[in-house]
Each structure stands twice: as structure tokens, then as C-alpha cells.
Amino acid sequence: MELFRKKLKTRIFLLSAIILAFVAILLYNQFGASEALKENLAFHFQTGFSAGGILVFVFLLAKYRVALKDEAKLRLLYNEEHDERMSVIRAKAGIPMVLILSMTLVLGGMVIGYFNETVFVVLIGAALFQLLVSIGVKLFYKAKM
């Protein structure tokens, strides 16, 4: 259980770093960006993505901190993460790789969105499509298995 505790502490550190990066992006978008830049579709997406990311990561951060303080919740989280049935379902749905590829598409879309709006929309749409298909496959296997 100590290894899992260390793993959670590492996750808390990484989540805190990502939250700080998102806060920096939001502060730059609010106070440092030029007016011409603020009219871009990618700029608005980046702002919303950062705000949404902060909300999700703060929730996860709180969940991990509560689990570290309570042994019963720590065991529950450990069992939830090491559930063999869910591991097989995630593997069949391609969860680890689909998430990495979708985040790469989103980040690439945010960068290229400042140069070409059409490519931005296509990349974000492809990432959303990948995520929706993966969720559909996961739900299918969850009901089937």
C-alpha cells in the first residue's frame, strides 16, 4: 500500500503542476493577449479547455488528497484502480492509447488553430470522435462482460 501512496503523491504533484500551467494560460489569455489574438477561435477554445481542465484536475486532486488521509478510501481507490475486469475492458476499448492520441490531436489543434481555423476544427472533431467511439466501446464491453 505504501507504493500506491507514493504513486498518489506523485500524481498530486503532477496535477498541481498542470493546474498551475492552466492558471498561467488563463492569466495570459486574460491580461497579456492582444485584441487581434482574442478574436481567434483557437484562443477561445484554449481558454475554455484550460478552465475545464482546472475544474477536472482540482476534483481529482481533492479525491487523491482525501484518499491519502483515510485508509478505507485509500483501499477503495486501490481496488478500483486494480480491478481486473475493468482493466480488460479498458484494454479492449484502447483507453490508454486513445487518450494519448486524442490529447495529441487537441494540443496540435490548439497550436495550428492560430494559423488555420479549418484544420483546427477538423483536429478537434477527430479527437472528439475518437473519444466518443472509445466510450461507446467501453460501455458495450461493460454491458457484455
Q: What is the pLDDT of residues 109-134, one digit of tens each?
A: 999 998 999 999 999 999 999 999 99
Domain boundaries, the chain: 1-82, 84-145
pTM of the model: 0.83
User: Smallest Cα–Cα separation from 108: which of 121, 92, 90?
Assistant: 121
Q: DSSP alpha helices (H): ranges in the chain?
A: 2-27, 41-69, 71-81, 84-93, 95-112, 117-144
Is the pLDDT confidence value at 10 over 90?
yes
Give the model confidence (pLDDT) of 15-66 as tens digits.
999 999 999 999 999 888 888 888 889 999 999 999 999 999 999 999 999 9
